[in-house]
Amino acid sequence: MDFGEMFDDVRRMNKRQLFYQVLNFAIIVSSALMIWKGLMVVTGSESPIVVVLSGSMEPAFQRGDLLFLTNYKEDPIRVGEIVVFKVEGREIPIVHRVLKVHEKENGDIKFLTKGDNNSVDDRGLYAPGQLWLAKKDVVGRARGFVPYVGMVTILMNDYPKFKYAILAALGLFVLIHRE
C-alpha cells in the first residue's frame, strides 16, 4: 500500500469514523500520561524510568539498559548507592554511584559521585564552582533494571531518520489494521 492509497482511505472515512479514530488516539495518549503521572506519585521520582545513555557505569549497567527509580525523600543517601542526578546547566540526567557522603549535624547531606568505568570523580561534570551534590539534585535511585530495552530510545536519538521510519511504520500499521 502506497501513501496515495493510504490518504484515499482516510478521505473515504466518514466523519464518525474519523472522530472515532481521533478519540481512540486521544484515549491512548491520555492513558499513557496518567500511567506516567501515577508512577511519579508512587515512586516519588520526577522520572521513574530512565535509559542509560553512556558506558560510564559498565559493568554494572550497559548503554541502553532501562532503570527503574524511586526517590523517597526520607531514605538516606549511602556510599555505593547508584543515583540519577541532574546538574544545573545540563538537561540530561546522569547515572553514577555515590563515592563519598558528608552529613552535617543539622541534617544537610552533600555527596560526591563517580561512574564505575570512569577514572575520576564527577566534579568536572557538576556546575561551575560546585564540588558536591545535594539531595535536591537527585532525580532518583536505581532499584532495578531491564537490560538493553532502552536501545530503541538511543537509536531514535542518534539516528533521527530511524525515529521517522518507526513513526511511519506505526502509522501504516494503524491504517491497515483499523477495522
Residues forming the active site: 56, 96, 122
Helix spans in the chain (H): 3-12, 15-43, 151-158, 160-176
What nine digits make up the cell of 17?
469514523
Distance of CA 132 to CAs 58, 125, 128, 158, Å? 23, 11, 11, 31
For residues 154 and 163, is the Cβ–Cβ distance under 8 A? no
The burial class, CB within 10 Å (0-12 / 13-18 / 19+), for 152 is middle
CA angle in degrees (0–180, nearest 5) for 46-125-131: 95
Distance of CA 148 to CAs 56, 66, 164, 173, Å? 15, 7, 21, 25
* Residue 118: DSSP 8-state: -
